[in-house]
C-alpha cells in the first residue's frame, strides 16, 4: 500500500514525500481511513510504530477541510501527551506535515517560562499540543479554552496514568465539548486504561499493532 491509496490530500502527500516516506506503516494504514471518515479510534501502539503520523495526518486533513473560522482562530484540535519530549516531537511532526496547509499549531509544556507559549496562543492556533499540567495552568489563567475543540487526541494513555496524570485528565475531560472526534492511544491496554478509553470514546474503531 502507498500513501496515495489513503485518500490524503495533495498538500499532505507532498509533505510526506519530502519526509522521504513512501509506504504507510501498519498503524497508519489501519487508522487513517476511519479517522478521515470521522470515527473515534482506540489504538494500541507504541512509539516507533508511526502512530504520530497516524493521528496527525488525518486530523490535519479534516481541519484544513473545514471552513476557516472568522476572527481569531479558536483551538479546534488538542493533543494531550505526558512528557515535554513527546510534546515537542508531536509538534515537529505537525510542522512538517502541515507545511502546505494553512493550519497553525503550537506546543505548551511545563518547566519553562510560559510567556512565549502564551504569545503563540494569542496569535491564534488551530491545533494545540500540550502536557496536562501546563494546559491546566493556562486554562486557569484564562489563556486557553477548550469549548471549541472538535478533535481530541489522548496520546500514551498508559504512561499518563503511570505518571500520575489521572487527576489532571479528569479535570480536563469535562471541559471538552461532548460532540467531538476522539483518538486514544496506549502502548498497553490493562483494565484501567480500557475503562478510561470506554469513558471517552464513542463506538471506536480498534486498531492494534
Applying CB under 6 A, the residues found at the interface with ligand AMP are 21, 23-25, 28, 47-53
Grid cell in block for residue 162: 503511570
The CB-of-46 to ligand AMP minimum distance in angstroms stands at 7
- The residue at minimum Cβ distance from ligand AMP is 52
CB 160 within 8 A of CB 18: no
E-assigned strands of the chain?
A: 41-44, 77-80, 105-108, 127-130, 151-154, 181-186, 205-208
Quote the least distance from Cβ 84 to ligand AMP, whole Å. 15
Report, in Å, the least distance between residue 201 CB and ligand AMP: 20
Complex with ligand AMP: residue 118 or 189, whichever CB lies closer:
189
Comparison of 9 and 25: residue with beta carbon closer to ligand AMP: 25
**Considering the complex, what minimum distance in angstroms separates the CB of residue 19 from ligand AMP?**
7
Q: Which residues pair with 183 in a beta bridge?
A: 41, 153
Please compute Rg for the chain using Cα positions: 16
How far is Cα 33 from Cα 54, in angstroms, rounded to an integer?
A: 10
Residue (25 or 148) nearer to ligand AMP, CB: 25
Report the nearest approach of ligand AMP to the CB of residue 115 (Å): 29
Nearer to ligand AMP, 97 or 151 (CB): 97
Beta carbon nearer to ligand AMP, 51 or 180: 51
**b/e string for 36-64 if b means 16 or more Cβ within 10 A?**
beebbbbbbbeeebbbbbbbbbbbbbbbb
CA distance 148 to 176: 8
Amino acid at each position: 500500500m502507498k500513501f496515495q491509496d489513503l485518500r490524503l490530500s495533495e498538500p499532505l502527500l507532498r509533505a510526506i514525500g519530502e519526509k522521504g516516506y513512501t509506504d504507510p506503516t501498519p498503524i497508519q494504514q489501519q487508522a487513517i481511513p476511519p479517522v478521515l471518515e470521522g470515527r473515534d479510534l482506540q489504538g494500541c501502539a507504541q512509539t516507533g510504530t508511526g502512530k504520530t503520523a497516524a493521528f496527525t495526518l488525518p486530523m490535519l486533513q479534516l481541519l484544513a477541510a473545514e471552513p476557516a473560522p472568522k476572527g481569531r482562530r479558536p483551538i479546534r484540535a488538542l493533543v494531550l501527551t505526558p512528557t515535554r519530549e513527546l510534546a515537542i516531537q508531536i509538534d515537529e511532526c505537525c510542522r512538517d506535515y502541515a507545511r502546505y496547509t494553512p493550519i497553525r499549531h503550537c506546543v505548551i509544556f511545563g518547566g519553562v517560562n510560559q510567556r512565549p507559549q502564551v504569545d503563540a496562543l494569542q496569535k491564534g492556533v488551530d491545533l494545540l499540543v500540550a502536557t496536562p499540567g501546563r494546559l491546566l495552568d493556562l486554562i486557569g489563567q484564562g489563556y486557553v479554552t477548550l469549548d471549541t475543540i472538535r478533535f481530541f487526541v489522548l496520546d500514551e494513555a498508559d504512561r499518563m496514568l503511570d505518571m500520575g496524570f489521572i487527576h489532571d485528565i479528569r479535570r480536563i475531560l469535562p471541559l471538552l465539548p461532548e460532540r467531538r472526534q476522539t483518538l486514544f492511544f496506549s502502548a498497553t491496554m490493562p483494565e484501567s486504561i480500557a475503562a478510561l478509553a470506554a469513558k471517552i470514546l464513542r463506538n471506536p474503531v480498534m486498531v492494534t499493532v
